[in-house]
Structures are given as C-alpha cells and as structure tokens.
Amino acid sequence: MKTHSNQRNNRNPRSAWKQAFTLVEMLVALLLTAVVLSAAGRITVAVMRTEAAASEKSHDALRRSVAMDSLVSDWNGRLEGQATVEAFPDASHRPTIRLLTREQLAGHDGITVKEPARVTYRIEVAGDSDLFILVRDADLLIGHDAVRSEVVGCGLESFGVDVFREEQWHPLEPIDKSDGKPIDALRLAIQWNSGDVQTRIFRLDDAAP
C-alpha cells in the first residue's frame, strides 16, 4: 500500500510540471500571435497609406490635365481674328482670359455640334482656404441659354498670365488701358498646391481650324 501511495505522490509533481509547461507554451503562443498581428497591421496601414498617396497623386495629375486640356481645346477652336482673345485683371486683380471659340454641344440624334461662344477663364477663392479654383464660363453667341459655368481646376496656388505684344512680354493691364494693342501670345503659369508648376505659351499665329 505504501508503495502505491508513493507512486501516486511521485506522479503528482510531474503532472503539475507538465500542466505548468503547457500554460507557458500558451502564453508564448499568444505573445507570438500578438507580435505577428501587430506586424501585419503595420504593413497593412503602410500599404493603405501608399495606395492613398498614389491615388491622390494620380488625381492631382488628372486635375492638372483637365485644366490645361480645356484651355488648349478652347484655344485651338477659337474663331479667327485678332479681336477674339482678351486677357485682363478682374476687379480683384486676378487674371482673366476671354476668347471667342466653338463650344461643343450635343445636337439632335446625339450628333455633336459646335456653336460660337464667348468663353471666360477666371479664378475664385476656394472657400476659406488660401487656394483658388479655375472656373470656365461659356456664353453662347446664338440663342438665349444661360451662361454655363464649370470648375476645371482645383487647388491652385497661383494663376499667372502675361501677354506678348509689341515684341515683348507685359503684365496684364485693365481692358481700358490695353485697347488697340493686339495680343500676339499669352504665357500661362499655373502653380498647384502639390508644388507642380505648369507653363505654356499660346500664340495667336498658331493655325486655328
């Protein structure tokens, strides 16, 4: 009997040690799992930030493309004649461009037609920020439709316009001071809040369709 009792007593410490060792293993496993999940979370956040930055960069590029493409399209579609383009500061001393061009409209049976229109590009303050938006106003010369306005650029820090006349570049002048002085070319410089700067020279002697 004593022998059996001793055997049971001898097994008890081993059993307790075995249970304790299993608990340590569980704690280690939980710790390793937490480390793995934390690392995976950091990687996921980094990937999401990278994708968001890439998406924002792509959006900025598209936004810049839309603004300049719109200007190029209207310039290429302008009506013939020296008096079809004006550039002047508005009442707030902000650059404004106005030109007579062809506005594309959806005609009957889905056919696109081009009607003569007076198109104005102007900038406005974007809400309470220090940035600007570029607005395009289109006023048809035929018919009595209301002026159609659309934002073609957001996030502008500056919108610079110079005019080329009399063989040199000049800053903008009010219309009453620039009458009788034909414009030979316009030089645009758009600075975006991303830090990018777009510049382009529009010449009146470029062939217009």
pLDDT confidence of residue 32? 86
Q: How far is CA 54 from the centre of its chain?
A: 12
What residue type is assigned to position 64 of the chain? Answer: R
Residue 208 has pLDDT above 50, yes or no: no
Beta strand pairing status for 185-192 and 148-165? antiparallel
pTM for this structure?
Answer: 0.66
Residue 112 has pLDDT above 60, yes or no: yes
| 116-138: average pLDDT | 90
| 84-94: average pLDDT | 88
pLDDT confidence of residue 81? 59
pLDDT band at 114 (very low <50, low <70, confident <90, very high): confident
The domain limits of the chain are: 1-209
pLDDT band at 132 (very low <50, low <70, confident <90, very high): very high
DSSP code of residue 84: G
pLDDT band at 66 (very low <50, low <70, confident <90, very high): confident
* pLDDT, mean over the chain: 78
For residue 99, give every residue at least 6 positions away whose Cβ sits within 8 Å of its Cβ, in sequence order, or none. Answer: 74, 75, 78, 84, 85, 86, 118, 119
Better pLDDT: 64 or 173: 173
Cβ pair 149, 73 in contact under 8 A: no
- Taking alpha carbons only, the member of 124, 125, 150, 147 closest to residue 136 is 150
Q: How far is CA 86 from the centre of its chain?
A: 27
